[in-house]
Structure 1
Amino acid sequence: MTPVIKHQTYIKSKPEKVFHTLTTAPGWNAWFTDRTTIEWNKDGTGEIRLRWAVMGEKLIEDGGKIIEAIPYESFIFQWCPGVSQTTVIFKLLPYREGTLVVLKEHGYSNKEMDACIGCAIGWGEALTLLKIFLEHGIVYKKDLFLGVDITDL
């Protein structure tokens, strides 16, 4: 059986706002990445390039095909954080005064446990950052969070 990553979190924000944040480059760049780009095709598919600046200079990049984007319900894309291409699924479920965000990533081989574990940890952190951004407007990026780099504490 191949490994699968699963996370979920409740965000006190409407599905429309969560969906917009996940399906636009400014949305990703507001809470998680630095220079992400998204290009859309007429059929609702497209290409996502997730980019992070390291030390303000070196650029880390990954991404791939956007498979599906159903307004206010789901966003599905592929990328390659290890050797294999994986599929990341965000499902948005209206719940109380906000949205239950369910994330699933699959496609890792049994030989990619390091990449899978790293992404499992990373997606947990990412959903926390998304929640803090959407609920409170707080952006954590190394040089922007009160001017403090928590790794130095």
Structure 2
Amino acid sequence: IKEGSPKTKVLVLTAYIDNENVSAAMKAGADGYTLKEVDSDILIGAIRSISQGGMPLHPQAARFLFQGEPKPAEPALTEEINLTDRELNVLELITQGLNNRKIAKELNLSIGTIKIHVSNILSKLGVSSRTEAAVKATQLDIVGEKVYH
């Protein structure tokens, strides 16, 4: 697709999440990679992200891409991040692929409160997207490895 039309945005929507498939897709020029089983809100968010120049990646796909890169010193870096317990709860749900509405429902909070927590999380992690936050959180073992919804 990219050879014939380099400006076309490509989101890989697949049932396969392994190093070989992720690497092949990204080397072929895919702009994002996610699983068929994702929630429709996550899929719509991924499509919007690509249209705005983002690269939405399933957290497990991101781990495959960053495999072998040196991990920063975890304890010191994790201490510097200094997320509150509530921010950790929200981050955990972000890594599971939940959107703000579902996180708000899960934690019995308003969507506005969740948006504030997400903004604080992105700032503290030094990232600009929820996907980057999920990847960094799993790389630093800030949250446990969870199944992506």
Higher strand share: 1
Higher helix share: 2
Q: Judge same fold: TM > 0.5, yes or no.
A: no
Q: Which one has more relative contact order, counting CA pairs under 8 Å at least 6 apart?
A: 1
- The two structures have a TM-score, normalised by structure 1, of 0.26
- The two structures have a TM-score, normalised by structure 2, of 0.26
